[in-house]
């Protein structure tokens, strides 16, 4: 039986929401192993001078706990 854990991360990218999601997974991978999935809960963006300048995601990363 596998035991799974979920952590929540916020990530930002100047390129896209997809890149922000990739950055969230990359950041999680620095400290946890066995990442199984990522669920993007919320999307938001930063606007300056009527232009999108940053894309943000709230990501839930699921990984297997080693017993």
- CATH number of the domain within which 15 lies: 3.30.1660.10
Q: Identify the pLDDT of residue 66.
A: 82
Q: pLDDT by residue (tens digit) across 13-62?
A: 999 999 999 999 999 999 999 999 999 999 999 999 999 999 999 999 99
**Structural domain span for residue 60:** 3-65
Count: domains in the chain: 1
> 12 pLDDT exceeds 90?
yes
DSSP for the chain, please give it: --EEEEEEEEEEESS-HHHHHHHHHHHHHTT---EEEEEEEEEEEEEETTEEEEEEEEEEEEEEEP-
pTM of the model: 0.87
């Amino acid at each position: 039986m596998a035991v799974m854990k979920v952590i929540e991360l916020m990530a930002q990218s100047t390129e896209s929401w997809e890149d922000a999601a990739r950055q969230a997974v990359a950041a999680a991978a620095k400290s946890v192993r066995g990442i199984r999935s990522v669920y993007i809960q919320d999307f938001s963006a930063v606007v300056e001078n009527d232009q999108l300048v940053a894309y943000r995601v709230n990501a839930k990363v699921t990984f297997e706990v080693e017993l």
